[in-house]
Each structure stands twice: as structure tokens, then as C-alpha cells.
Structure 1
Amino acid sequence: MADWRRIGTIFVAVLVLASFAGAAMAEFAPKVAYGAYGNAAAILINGRSAVKFSASNGNLSPLQRAKITNDRIAALVAAKFDPRGLVVKGDNYSGRIYAGDQLVCIATSRDAKLNGCTPVSLANTWLSNIRNLLLMPPVVLNPGEITVPLGENRQVDVGGAATGQIYAKIDDENVAGVVAEPAGRCLTISAKNLGKALVEVTCEGEKATLVVYVKKYAGKLPSVAVGQVTGNPCPASLVCYCARQTVSEAAMLEPGSRLEVGSADCPNQALGQGKNRQIKVDVKMVGPDYIPVKARATAEIRNVVLPREDPEQLFYSNDPESITRYQPLFAGRLDISKPTRVLYHHQNAMARRVHLIVELVNPNDTTARVRVYRGIAPPSTDTIVIGHVAGCAFMKDCANDVSVVEVIPPQSRVVLVSDMLGKNDTSSGILQVNQLEGENAYVRITAAEPMVDMVSRGTIARASSGRNLQLSDQIYPRPVKNVDAEYVVGQRWAFIAIGKHALDDSSQQKKLYGNYGVTYNINVKISNPTGESKKISFVFDPTAGPASGVFTIDGKFALVKYAQPPKEITLATMTLGPGETRNCLVTTVPLAGSNYPATLIVKS
């Protein structure tokens, strides 16, 4: 009664206590009351409004109508009538609720007009309220089962027909603590240790059980994950890749959980040297018996300046060139601060598909940081063209110093290339990697059976022990050749062999015929002692057979997609004035899939 006075209302309450057969409330009796609220009157069941009369009906005031309806509902409760048997009948003038042949109440056209609906519609609303409130269980927990993160608190609402004081008791206080908050009619659950506990909630002698699980999150993320790229500038695509990788690498996953990286808000703009960019990345962390985590992570990508690097060794993966079975193709160990060139070129000779994987493997207990330059081509049946595409990408990234720093968590691997090869498809690429920090990581190349190792480019996955890797012997030291050449106008042309003098492997047991993947820095001194201006030509001669080439001549790219002997391809021309001498730097790399040695000719 005091609650109704506080809101300016006078209620005459009639509480009906009855054993309610056919409902889910066992021995609990619903509470029924009626009262006036201003000019209207209402029926309350279990303290909640079920019916509101806003108008008189004939000589009956709203309050009188409410009393009659209250008495009828009380009689139904006493008679153990099942509320699911209530029905509505009516027309345009009234909607009537019946319990069998017994009238419960009437929704008049005036009531309906004040509620903005038809009488039958209003009667159906009242019926639904009456039925649901009479069938309401005495104690309702929302939720009835809850998972609480370890070390955190969660609240559970306590509802239902019972409105008295709440009591709560937990069967395992080592797992969680529970406090009943009577003012807010809720429970506060505090997670202490991993496990399961049951909370018995009592109100007015009625009970309900709450199931509590205490679990860990599947993983955590730092507020901002920082990644590094280089480049003048760094392309937008690599910045976006780095953002996704940075979030993946920074994720702290629980054992057995996994990370799913979704979309990233990547602007289509290159990132200049010394600049930073923050990118939002959608991620999800899931795992068995862990709490899933969905988050919008922040990656800050920094374009840093790192020293330019010449490779000190070459990992050469071309034996076998033709893949005839699923097998490991190459494995090589990296050394700290020892830049390593990686060339791979393999063709699928099987009738079945092959999954070619190039990855960095960190089997150690410490994090490894590796700087990576990429020259990757999509699979192709044209072995020469694919080598040319890969070589172009690699040399252009090297010219602009474009690289990314991959961070490899302990006992993990990062996939750099993931190509699915059909019959006669070739996978080809040139990479350069330099381990900056951590214990020795490995480069591994595998011809895997499809659907066995479900990885793609950028995947971070569990690594096997480094002891299981059989290291390749196709490792060649000092894969850089500095060549000096001279051409004097009017004298013999300069013929400069590319790929002719094969490198020896580290044990001097193998030779790298063609010097594929080796950098040639050719310094050409050109003199014009005549009294006339002379046109100088740089010409590519595919000496050993069909070949492609990628050159920079004084910093400008010159590309040969395909050359067939005896045809020669002019790369560039320049004019020397009378008595002029000029030094030119030509850089090239013999490309996989082509036939080397080839010859660079300088002539007039």
C-alpha cells in the first residue's frame, strides 16, 4: 500500500492464494490485486499490470470493473483453472475474455479507442498478460546459466512471481562468490577459479538453480599493436597486410585457441617514410572451453628507415624443379643479421593438385623478428613469364626499399607463400629475409597435399620442432657479383656475361649454373673519344635460349618479358657527346624459368 501512495495512487488489494494445478508453479500461489490509478484502474498479478480499465462501462466505474474482474480471476485461481484455456470472443464493439463459459472481463470500444486499437486486439493483449503472469514461475533467473570470465564479476537478474527477500547459496565458494542484491533484485557473481558451481536462489520459500561457469577468454589483445614496414613510400597494400599481421602476431592466445582476422579499414594510400598510420582490424578469438572474444583491434603501422642490405647467402629451391610427389622441398636455417636471398621455382608434374607453402618457422621459446622483401608471382603454366613477374616485383621492391618486419611468436610459423598448383602450374618467387631478433629461425618450402595444411598467406600457425627439419645443401654464399666493364666508342663492343661463372655452394660440392637469384652490379665505363656525338645502346642477348630479364640502368627499369635467340632486345639508349666519358650502373638478377647465361652488350 505504501508503494502505491508514493506514486499518488490508492489500491485496494485482494490477495488470492491458491494451489495452481496445470501450471509450472507447483505450490506457489500467484498474487492478484486491483487498484485505482488516477481515473483508471488496474489488475495486478504478481505485482505486474495485466489489465488497465481507462473508461467506465455503463454504470460501472473503472475501479468497479477492476474489482469484478479481480474477483473473477480469484475464483478461477481457487478453482484451479488452467490459464491456457482462456479465450477471446468479440466484435467491433467489444472484446470479451472467457474462461470456458465464465466471462472474465470486457474490453469496450471506449477502452480500445483510448489505447489506439480495436476491442478484440485489446482483449487479446489483456489475455496474454493474464495468462503469462498467472503461469509465471515463482523464481526466474535471467540468465539461468552464466559464464563469468576469470577475475571478473557479472550480474544475474532475479524475477518471477515471488517478490520477497532473495537468498543465495553457492555449492563451491572456491570457484565463485555470490552476493544477493535485494534492492536491485539481482545476484552479483565473482569469478575466482576455473570450474563450475551451482547457486541455489530462494525467495518466499521457492527455489531456482543458477549454473555458473568460470572460464578464461580465448585470448587477449594489446590496446595498440605496433608493426613496422619500410619503403619510400610503402604501398598501401603492404601497409594493410602489415596491419592484419601485426594484430595476429600480437594476439595472446590461450593453448588450443585460434585467431580469425576479419576486415580491416585500410585507406588506399601509400605510407611515407617516417610516417605512422593506425588501422582498425576486426578479429575473433575462439577455442574449446574458452570465452570467445570479438574485438576491433588497433594496429599502428610505422614506416621506419632500416639499412639497405646485400644478401650474404642464397637459399636455392629448384631441386627437384618438377614436383612428382608430396614432399619437403627445402629447409634452411637463418642467422641473426645475415640477409638471405630465397629463390624458389617448382612446377607441378602430377595429375593432382599441389599446395606449395613457403614459410618462416620459429621453433624456439622466444619471439623472432624477420625483415622480408617479397617478389611473388601467382601460379602460371608459363615458366618463363612467371619468373619474370616475380623478378619484376622483387627488384622494384628492392629499388624502393619496400619490406615488412614479420614478428613470429614462439613455437610458431608464418606463411609467406601459399600457392595451390594445378597440373603443370609453376610457383615462383624471389624473397629476401633478414632475421633481426630471436633465436635461429628457418625457411621451409613444402609441396603439401591439398586440404592437409589449411593455411594461406599471412597465416600464423603452430610450428613443429626444428630438429625435424632436414636442411638443404643448396645454399650459396655471397650471391652478389660486382662486375666492372668498359666500352670505348669505335673499339670492340662490351660483352658482359650474366650467369656464366657459377657460384659454389657452401661445401663447394655443387654449382649454381646460371646463377639464378644472384644480384649483378655492373659498373660500365663508357667513353666517346671521337669528335661527334654518339648513340650508345644497351642490348640483351638471350645467349643460352629463351629468357626474360629485369634490369635497372642508372636507376631506370628496363624489362624483357620474353626473348628468343637469335633476337636481341634493346634495353636503353643514351647519347655521349664528343670526348665525353660516363659511368653507368646496371643491376640485374638472372630469373628462374629462363635460360641463363645471357649477355649484356654495350655498343654504338
Structure 2
Amino acid sequence: MSVELAGTVSPVFVLARVHDAIAANAHLQPGATAIVRGVTFAQPLRGGEVADAQADVTLAGNGVASDVRGTTGVHVQVDALPRLDPQVLFYSDDPEKIAADGVLYRSPIAIDRTRPARTYVYHVSETPARRLYLVLQPSGSATRMQILGASAGPSADFGYTGHVSTLRYMQVRSVQESAIAALAAGAPYAIPLDDAAMNPGDLVAAIFDLQVLDGGPVTASIVAASGGFDPLSLLAGTELPSDTHGRRGEFDLTLIPPLALAFTVGGPEPPPFLVGVPAFKNLRPGGRPLGGDYGVVRAVELHVVNPTETPQSVFLYETPAGGTATTTIQLGDAPPLSVACVDPSQSARYLVYEIALAANETRTIRGEYMTDGTSSFPLAFGLTSTPPQAPPPTACGHTAPAPSPSPSAIPSASPIPSASPSPSQVPLGAPG
């Protein structure tokens, strides 16, 4: 069994990919599951590395089929690929509340070797037993695709779900942990976006970056299917009607202004940088502009100077203006930071990051920022030498953000999950 990956991949991610490959090739009956043991790696694998292992496999019939046990040789290859930076955003948040099965979004722009894309998914189910899928459809030739991304939910805690989906995505993006999928000619490839069926009022949020490495163009669709219904049987339908929010469309990601701030200790503070305004133009005719920058990754550049003879601290702060907000930001070589939900009612500056400067030190810190789903905007970022208020550990009525998990984005096995999902059908971004 061969498994192709890219970026820096954690042992948890490798095991999940091996599990998916075995389960997909086992042709499991509905209700059967694959259990894989014996494949362990002590350290992450990086681009250019290969590894071989022997997997102990149990195909459990679970009362509907026969149990089978055996061993399978596994070859893992990790490709060294250029950084994946999408040029276009496919945005699916309409209808935000799903009352019927069908196609929620279909990309009018194809993904090809010159146009990588990001899909941003944010939907709430109004009925039980619903699942969401990202479906990739090759135009007619076999295609190899790089898939990088994460999801969160289903959950009725919207603030927590929107924050965790962004945090997981930024974690895997920072190390470019990706799966390489081989799509057969004319065969749709379905990826579940949730780790369980949605209950009424549950939210699923997901973010994926997609790149065609070889082969023809690919169309991306977001499909809702309930009661174990085959999502591929719904692909021929038109997009479900809007719920009047107009949050569906395509957006250019090639000219995003950076979150740039400069400050010298003892000098005036820079004007705050506002995120969420102005809105990005929708490339879909008649489509609503993108408010809140949802799905947009913005470069960060902080230039700080300490001209004094003593060590000084400079603080990156945030001030919510449009409503409550959580924050995910990656600075330097460190993992992404997770800032708890803050409330604008206190009119406070909240601490995001402290920069400790030595005497006479000048430093430029670079990173990336992505707005969290469910957060409100505009949100102001600034630099100061006055210590801001620490964010509360919990606020806004949301569950406290989870500790940052190790990157473990997990695309599902292809082609279609059964009505009773096996462990191989774990969605991208599920905890290891």
C-alpha cells in the first residue's frame, strides 16, 4: 500500500492516511470498519523523506459481514512541494441554515495547475442526521491533487466551532501538512466535513486549500445529504436557493493588503489596522461582498524598534468594535496563537502578543492572520508600549478554546462514506 503526502506530516496524520488507504482498498461493506495497528513513527516526516512499515489490519464485520485479519506492507512518501497559496476563495455560507439536501455550492471557476483555490464552508443544519461533503470532480482525466485543510463540528457552540476550525487550519497551513489524492477520470471524490451527523442547530465550519498537481481541471462542490443518502447522487442538481443572506461566491486572493504595523518605543503609536473593512468584491455577478474577511489569510508584518539603553516590551493588542471576537494568528516560527473570546463592551485593548526587545534592538516579525468564523468585525490591531488587558480565559458565553492540538488534518478515504461511517471516514482536522 502506497501513501503519498506533502509538507511536514505528524505521526498522527501519517497513521490516519495509512488507515484511509487500507480502508479504501478493502472495499468495506456498509457497517464494516477497518482497524489498523502496528504503524508507528516517533518523529514527523518531512518533504523528501520516505518510510516503510508493516500494518496489522483487522476488517471488522460488526455483525453484518465477516471479520478478516492480516498484514499489509505500507510505503509512505512525503513530497517536497512549493507552498500552497490559493488564488481564489470559494465561499459557501448560503443558505446558512440548511433545510433540504442538495448542492450548497458549486464552483463556477475550475481549479487547475495555475489556479489553486480555497474553500470556506459555514453551515447550520435545521434537521437531524445531516452530513456535509466537499466533492471534487475531475473534468475527464485522472488528476493528482494536494489537499490541505481542517474542519470543526458539528456543534451548537458556534463561537467555539468557528474558532477551532480556523486554529486547526492555521496549524496545518504553517507546516503545509497535506494529503495527495489520486482522482480517477470522471470519478467524483467525496470528503466528509464533519466527524458525525449534524443535529438540528449544529454548525460545521471547514477550510480547505486545493491544488491540481497533474491532470485536468477540477470542480469543487459542497453537498448536504441526510439519513445516509449518497451525496454523489445529488451532484446533478442546481445550487439550493439562497436564504437571502447572499453569502455565496468567489473572491480574489491575490492582492490582500498585509496587516502591517510599525512602532518605535518612546514614539507615537501607529494608527490601528482594521480587519473586516472594506469588504472584498464578489466575483459572482450580483453576489454580496465578503464581510469580515472570512476565508482570507492576511500576511502580518510587525516592525518594532527599541532605541533605548534598557530592555523594553512592545505589545500587539486587539480592540473589538463590531461585536465579540476570537483570534487566531501565527507569528514568526511559533505555532499559531489562540486568543480567547473578547467583548467590546469594556472598550479595552486586549493583549495578543508581547515582543521583548533588548536594548537598541530592531526587529521585524512576520506571520499570518485569518479571521475566525462567528467572530464580529471590524477588529482593530495595534502596537503599544503600555501593557494591554489580558483576555479572559472564557467569555462571550462560549466554551473555552481547546489547547492547540498537533497538526492532524485528515482527509477521508474516497470514494463515498457508508451510511455508518468507519474510522477511515474521519474529516479533515479531526483530533488525532
Q: Same fold (TM over 0.5)?
A: yes
Q: 1:131-142, aligned counterparts within 5 Å?
A: none
Q: 1:304-383, aligned counterparts within 5 Å?
A: 304-332=79-107, 333-348=110-125, 350=126, 352-362=127-137, 364-383=139-158
| Contact 1:481–1:518 under 8 Å retained in 2 | no
Per the alignment, residue 299 of structure 1 pairs with 74
Letter aligned with residue 518 of structure 1: V
CA distance in structure 2 between the aligned counterparts of 1:508 and 1:584, rounded to whole angstroms = 39
CA distance in structure 2 between the aligned counterparts of 1:281 and 1:407, rounded to whole angstroms = 24
CA distance in structure 2 between the aligned counterparts of 1:488 and 1:407, rounded to whole angstroms = 51
| Contact 1:314–1:517 under 8 Å retained in 2 | yes
- 2:183 pairs, out of 408, 416, 419, with 408
CA distance in structure 1 between the aligned counterparts of 2:140 and 2:116, rounded to whole angstroms = 22
Letter aligned with residue 111 of structure 2: L
CA distance in structure 2 between the aligned counterparts of 1:451 and 1:560, rounded to whole angstroms = 37
CA distance in structure 2 between the aligned counterparts of 1:364 and 1:341, rounded to whole angstroms = 19
Per the alignment, residue 518 of structure 1 pairs with 296
Q: 1:67-466, aligned counterparts within 5 Å?
A: 225-232=1-8, 234-247=9-22, 262-265=34-37, 266-267=39-40, 269-273=42-46, 274-280=49-55, 282=57, 296-332=71-107, 333-348=110-125, 350=126, 352-362=127-137, 364-410=139-185, 411-418=187-194, 419-453=196-230, 463=232
Structure 1 residues 443 and 246, CA gap change in structure 2 (3 angstroms): same
Higher strand fraction (1 or 2): 1
State the shift of 1:378 in Å. 2.7
Alignment pair present for 1:564 and 2:343 = yes
TM-score, structure 2 as length reference: 0.74
State the shift of 1:248 in Å. 5.4
CA distance in structure 1 between the aligned counterparts of 2:348 and 2:330, rounded to whole angstroms = 21
- When the two chains are superposed, the root-mean-square deviation of aligned CA atoms in Å is 3.2
Percent of aligned pairs with the same amino acid: 19
Q: Secondary structure at the match of 2:94?
A: coil
Letter aligned with residue 519 of structure 1: V
State the shift of 1:397 in Å. 0.9
Alignment pair present for 1:601 and 2:378 = no
Structure 1 residues 451 and 250, CA gap change in structure 2 (3 angstroms): closer
Q: Secondary structure at the match of 2:355?
A: strand
CA distance in structure 2 between the aligned counterparts of 1:578 and 1:536, rounded to whole angstroms = 13
CA distance in structure 2 between the aligned counterparts of 1:525 and 1:487, rounded to whole angstroms = 6
Q: Secondary structure at the match of 1:335?
A: coil
Letter aligned with residue 318 of structure 1: D
CA distance in structure 2 between the aligned counterparts of 1:403 and 1:412, rounded to whole angstroms = 19
| Contact 1:368–1:438 under 8 Å retained in 2 | yes
CA distance in structure 2 between the aligned counterparts of 1:331 and 1:345, rounded to whole angstroms = 14
Per the alignment, residue 546 of structure 1 pairs with 324
Structure 1 residues 276 and 268, CA gap change in structure 2 (3 angstroms): closer
Letter aligned with residue 373 of structure 2: A
CA distance in structure 2 between the aligned counterparts of 1:279 and 1:478, rounded to whole angstroms = 43
CA distance in structure 1 between the aligned counterparts of 2:111 and 2:69, rounded to whole angstroms = 36
CA distance in structure 1 between the aligned counterparts of 2:188 and 2:199, rounded to whole angstroms = 28
Q: Secondary structure at the match of 2:73?
A: strand
Per the alignment, residue 150 of structure 1 pairs with none
Letter aligned with residue 389 of structure 1: V
| Contact 1:235–1:269 under 8 Å retained in 2 | no
Gaps of 5+ in 2: 62-66, 241-246, 386-432
CA distance in structure 1 between the aligned counterparts of 2:139 and 2:357, rounded to whole angstroms = 58
Letter aligned with residue 3 of structure 2: G
How many aligned residue pairs are there? Answer: 361
Per the alignment, residue 585 of structure 1 pairs with 366
- Whose relative contact order is higher, 1 or 2, with alpha carbons under 8 Å and at least 6 apart? 2
Q: Secondary structure at the match of 2:161?
A: helix
Alignment pair present for 1:484 and 2:256 = no
Per the alignment, residue 83 of structure 1 pairs with none
CA distance in structure 2 between the aligned counterparts of 1:531 and 1:370, rounded to whole angstroms = 53
Gaps of 5+ in 1: 1-224, 287-291, 456-462
For residues 313-346 of structure 1, the C-alpha deviation after alignment (integer angstroms, 9 at most, x for no partner) is 1111112222233332112242234221111111
Structure 1 residues 269 and 331, CA gap change in structure 2 (3 angstroms): farther
State the shift of 1:420 in Å. 1.3
